């Protein structure tokens, strides 16, 4: 029976899917996916597995990832974070970007290397697959084990199951043709493989069932890293499918020894709301659950408990002396490509470049929504342009409050459907509000997904503008791998922003 207090869950809130964790000495480090956002692949650090600090990112420089040109949902998919002989390693697929990459750093906070392409044996092209894992055997041979989903070319969409090659990490070339490994117990999309040598046996952990409601974590073991693998009895060892558990889609796990020496599994999950538990506003987040090794050499993995952290409030006063913290992200660009903190001390200046939120690279600087109920506001000076506060999933799904040119416009863009609500703007500045909270249209007895309440405060007068059903900005409706990001954007001219406040809870 464990005595450790229940760990917070989500462990890392807001869109942080595909977690990979490693323990080094008295600290743990955790990496997650970022897709088309930059900076890419955040590294969080903890010394107690409860409090996690964002210490840096793998991709902070142009060219490390090729996300500038990837389609929506492309980019950094599913890193594996490992440590060996004083060096941190990340292997990751830059999907529809550079391909399968290997990054190294001696300090996990960075700087990280430029990223080397992991190629087939003749060096001609990237290994074809996603979710690469890296492990070394006692002789120091590096194994790359990955999910054989073909992302490009004539065979795009083909899935060859779990694949593995030995790789020379000097040349980054495979030393052989890929071999197929055990690929689960029949769930679709076997992926997220991780190999561990534990008590002289090699354990292969995978996800199968797809990252939606059928997601699960399965395990097999062998005497060598190449197999043959014997499946655990009772796979998948953890899944929320066909349950009413509050954390769904649980899968894409990684095993690590936890704070009390017992093993835990970090994995992704969602917190759906609604009568049919259908809509997850924040996207896929990082969760944790306990693992218990049994006398037969197989582990059990607990169902994923929900244990949200207390509410939080952050205020950001922009300053030339204080760079934007790592929680600020932009789309296919670094926040520093857009944000000017020196032109007007105390304000973040955004200069429009002709793009809008409907474009692949909007002038947008945002932060993940991290609470199911979250109120976000920012003061904008739109005397020289048009812009506002937006919550986005992508170019086709976003909701915003926009000001400028004598008007305040609340706008909901849901695929090809656009609705606007207008009010006159009688001042050069306004405080814009996006409040995610109980809506008026909830008709079900179940906890409905919160609505988005759009408003503006002008000369001290709050002007309610619109209420938008939150389901339209959920990972299910948008078919998105990311999650809600709330930020400031410029559409014409220039806008200055100050007094950013985000507060909320997960009642």
Interface residues with ligand 6LW (CB under 6 A)? Answer: 17-18, 33, 77-78, 130-131, 191-192, 207, 210-211, 252, 481
Smallest gap from Cβ 61 to ligand 6LW, in A, equals 23
Nearer residue to ligand 6LW within complex by CB, 191 or 506: 191
What are the φ/ψ torsions at residue 158 (nearest 5 degrees)?
Answer: -65, 140
Q: Which residue, 17 or 110, is less far from ligand 6LW as judged by CB? A: 17
Q: Output the smallest distance, CB 78 to ligand 6LW, in A.
A: 4
**Smallest gap from residue 285 Cβ to ligand 6LW (A):** 12
Assign residue 327 a region (left: φ > 0; alpha: ψ between -120 and 50; beta: otherwise).
alpha
b (16+ CB within 10 A) / e for 111-133: ebbebbbbbbbeeeebbbbbbbb
Q: Are strands 451-458 and 263-270 parallel, antiparallel or unpaired?
A: unpaired
By beta-carbon proximity to ligand 6LW, the closer residue of 17 and 388 is: 17
Residue 371 and residue 507: Cα distance in Å, rounded? 9
Our CB check for ligand 6LW shows the closer of 112 and 146 to be 146
Question: Under a CB-based contact definition with an 8 Å cutoff, are residues 131 and 77 in contact?
Answer: yes
Q: Least separation, in Å, of the C-beta of 493 and ligand 6LW?
A: 37
Closest CA to 478 of 351, 369, 365, 393: 393
Residue nearest ligand 6LW, CB atom distance: 211
CA-to-CA dists, residue 175 to 90, 221, 309, angstroms: 20, 23, 46
Q: How many helices (H) and strands (E) does the chain have?
A: 2, 37
Rg of the chain in Å (alpha carbons) = 23
Q: How far is the CB of 93 from ligand 6LW (least distance, A)?
A: 7
Least Å from the CB of residue 258 to ligand 6LW: 23
Residue 17 or residue 42: which is nearer to ligand 6LW going by CB? Answer: 17
Three state DSSP letters for 35-85 = ECEECEEEEEEECCCCCCEEEEEEECCCCCCCHHHCCCCCEEEEEEEEEEC
Cis previous bond, 235, omega within 30: no
- In sequence order, which residues have a C-beta less than 8 Å from that of residue 476 and are 6 or more positions away? 212, 272, 278, 279, 280
d(Cα 466, Cα 450) in Å, to the nearest integer? Answer: 14
Least Å distance, CB 307 to ligand 6LW, is 23
User: What backbone torsions phi and psi does residue 163 show, to the nearest 5 degrees?
Assistant: -120, 160
Question: Least distance to ligand 6LW from the beta carbon of 475, Å?
Answer: 11
- Asked if 390 contacts 486 with a C-beta cutoff of 8 angstroms, the reply is yes
Which residues are CB-neighbours of 241 under 8 A, at least 6 positions away?
A: 209, 213, 214, 215, 216
> Toward ligand 6LW, which CB reaches closer, 42 or 388?
42
3-state secondary structure of 426: coil
> Cβ 404 to ligand 6LW, closest distance in Å?
36
User: Closer to ligand 6LW at the Cβ: 130 or 451?
Assistant: 130
Q: Which is nearer to ligand 6LW, 192 or 301 (CB)?
A: 192
CB of 24 to ligand 6LW, least distance (A): 24
Using an 8 Å Cβ cutoff, are 130 and 146 in contact? yes
Query: Least Å distance between CB 70 and ligand 6LW?
Result: 12
Nearer to ligand 6LW, 240 or 357 (CB): 240
d(CA 41, CA 97): 14
Instruction: Compare residues 94 and 467 and give the one whose CB is closer to ligand 6LW.
Output: 94
* Minimal distance, residue 364 CB to ligand 6LW, in Å: 22
- The helix (H) or strand (E) run that includes residue 466 is strand 461-468
């Amino acid at each position: 029976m464990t005595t450790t207090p229940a760990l917070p869950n989500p462990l890392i809130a807001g869109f942080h899917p595909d977690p990979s964790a490693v323990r080094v000495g008295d600290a743990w480090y955790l990496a997650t996916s970022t897709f088309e956002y930059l900076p890419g692949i955040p590294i969080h650090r903890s010394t107690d597995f409860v409090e996690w600090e964002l210490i840096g990112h793998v991709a902070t420089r142009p060219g490390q990832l090729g996300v500038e040109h990837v389609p929506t949902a492309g980019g950094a998919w599913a890193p594996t974070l490992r440590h060996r002989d004083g060096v941190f390693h990340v292997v990751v697929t830059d999907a529809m970007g550079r391909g399968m990459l290997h990054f190294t750093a001696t300090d996990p906070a960075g700087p990280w290397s430029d990223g080397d392409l992991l190629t087939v044996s003749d060096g001609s092209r990237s290994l074809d697959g996603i979710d690469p894992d890296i492990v070394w055997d006692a002789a120091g041979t590096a194994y790359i084990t990955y999910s054989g989903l073909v992302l490009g070319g004539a065979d795009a969409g083909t899935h060859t199951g779990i694949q593995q090659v030995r790789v020379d990490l000097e040349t980054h070339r495979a030393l052989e043709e890929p071999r197929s490994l055990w690929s689960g117990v029949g769930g679709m999309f076997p992926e997220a493989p991780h190999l561990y040598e534990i008590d002289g046996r090699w354990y292969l952990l995978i996800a199968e069932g797809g990252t939606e409601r059928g997601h699960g974590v399965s395990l097999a073991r062998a005497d060598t890293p190449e197999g043959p693998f014997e499946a655990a009895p009772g796979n998948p060892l953890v899944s929320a499918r066909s349950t009413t558990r509050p954390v769904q889609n649980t899968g894409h796990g990684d095993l690590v020894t936890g704070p009390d020496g017992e093993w835990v599994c970090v994995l992704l999950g969602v917190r759906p709301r609604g009568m049919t538990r259908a809509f997850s506003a924040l996207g896929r987040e990082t969760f944790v659950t306990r693992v218990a090794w049994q006398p037969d050499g197989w582990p059990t993995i607990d169902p994923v408990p929900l244990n949200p952290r207390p509410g939080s409030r952050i205020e950001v006063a922009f300053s030339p002396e204080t760079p934007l913290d790592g929680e600020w992200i932009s789309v296919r660009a670094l926040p520093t490509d857009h944000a000017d903190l020196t032109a007007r001390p105390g304000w973040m200046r955004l200069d429009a470049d002709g793009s809008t939120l409907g474009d692949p690279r909007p002038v947008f600087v945002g932060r993940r929504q991290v609470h199911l109920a979250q109120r976000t506001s920012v003061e904008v000076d739109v005397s020289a342009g048009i812009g506002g506060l937006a919550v986005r999933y992508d170019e086709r799904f976003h909701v915003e409050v926009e000001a400028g040119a004598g008007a305040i416009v609340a706008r909901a863009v849901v695929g090809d459907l656009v609705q606007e609500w207008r009010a006159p703007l009688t001042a050069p500045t306004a405080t814009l509000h996006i409040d995610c909270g109980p809506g008026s249209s909830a008709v079900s007895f179940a906890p409905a997904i919160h609505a988005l309440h759009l408003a503006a405060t002008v000369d001290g007068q709050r002007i309610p503008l619109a209420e938008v059903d939150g389901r339209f900005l959920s990972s299910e409706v948008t078919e998105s791998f990311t999650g809600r990001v709330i930020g400031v954007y410029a559409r014409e001219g220039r806008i200055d922003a100050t007094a950013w406040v985000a507060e909320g809870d997960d009642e």
